[in-house]
Amino acid sequence: MKLEDLTKEQQEQIALSVAEFTPQQIRDIQKELKQFDEGKTKVFGNLFSILICFVVAYFIKYDPNVEYTWLYGWVLHSWLTIPKLIFSLFTDTISAKPALYTTGYIVWWWITLVANAYAYLSTLIRLFVYLKNRKTESKGQLLLAVIQKFYPEKMAEAAQIEEKTEGGE
């Protein structure tokens, strides 16, 4: 919800509720929103990387006449492990691992499977946390907009707090 979406009475009611906010509390809201933006960037960056892995995994096929060594298992195929594993559940044309491989390949395949499972799971958890906290972000932005409109001097004081903490670090 944005400030423009509210009636004048609703804006004034919120303004009364934030009238007692200290500059430090305003600064804390600003910090929280900044952290939220940084987290959002990481989540969507990770989701984009996962999408690229799925696209690449769909198009790269294992050559049945080649015996794959540890280098392929570690460097080349490792990031495609989970997408290929998921695709192999739904189609016979894409296999989770090649037909011919060395022991080194399968060792690295399992290591990267565990590492990638952790990365994918943590990305999904961050995505759910982001989706859960969207209302908090919206509320924080609305509060800052009301404070900016009704109490610009408090926003200026909060900015001074920011300058002092950044200058002291």
Q: Which residues pair with 68 in a beta bridge?
A: 101
Quick one: tokens of 136? 């908090």
Q: What is the pTM of this model?
A: 0.65
Buried b (16+ CB within 10 A) or exposed e, 136-163: ebeebbbbbbbbeebbeebbebbeebee
Q: Could you report the per-residue pLDDT of 7-45, keeping only the tens digit for each?
A: 888 877 877 777 788 888 888 888 888 887 877 888 888
First to last CA, the chain: 35
Separation CA 142–CA 134 (nearest Å): 12
Q: Could you report the per-residue pLDDT of 114-156, keeping only the tens digit for each?
A: 988 998 999 889 888 888 877 777 778 878 888 888 888 877 8
